[in-house]
């Protein structure tokens, strides 16, 4: 089944057939949710924000280890980005978490935010 081999890819559900054989497509289709994913800031769906783009949409491998790991939500420590390894800097909290990657400043999210 198809799976994007790159860090960036325009979002097209056909390219994510492997992912969607287990995960609901709506996880990246709905901009607002309080139920589809825990990766949200209040009701702002952060999977949608990162993945659902016509240009430079992040693929699953941009943050997740696709073959499982011992980390929460299979979040990588670092990801191949060009010729270097970019740190993710993920920290889990009780109601969300934060990331401090090489691509943007530290950002936090809180699922319980109103």
Residue 39 CB burial class (10 angstroms; 0-12, 13-18, ≥19): buried
pTM of the model: 0.89
**Cα–Cα distance between 111 and 114 in angstroms, integer?**
8
Return d(Cα 92, Cα 39) in angstroms, integer.
11
Query: Residue 39, CB half-sphere, CA atoms under 13 Å: how many?
Result: 21
CA distance 50 to 32: 13
The pLDDT tens digits of the residues spanning 4-43 come to: 888 899 999 998 998 899 889 999 999 999 999 999 999 9
**What is the domain partition of the chain in residue ranges?**
13-107
User: Distance between CA 101 and CA 105 in Å, rounded?
Assistant: 7
**Which tokens belong to 35?**
């139920």
pLDDT computed for residue 80 by the predictor: 85
């Amino acid at each position: 089944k198809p799976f994007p081999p790159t860090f960036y890819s325009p979002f097209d559900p056909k390219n994510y057939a492997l992912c969607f054989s287990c995960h609901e497509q709506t996880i990246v289709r709905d901009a607002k949710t309080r139920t589809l994913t825990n990766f949200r800031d209040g009701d702002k769906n952060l999977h949608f924000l990162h993945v659902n783009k016509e240009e430079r949409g992040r693929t699953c491998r941009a943050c997740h280890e696709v073959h499982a790991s011992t980390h929460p939500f299979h979040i990588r420590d670092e990801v191949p980005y060009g010729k270097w390894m970019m740190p993710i800097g993920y920290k889990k909290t009780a109601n969300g978490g934060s990331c401090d990657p090489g691509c943007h400043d530290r950002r936090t999210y809180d699922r319980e935010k109103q």
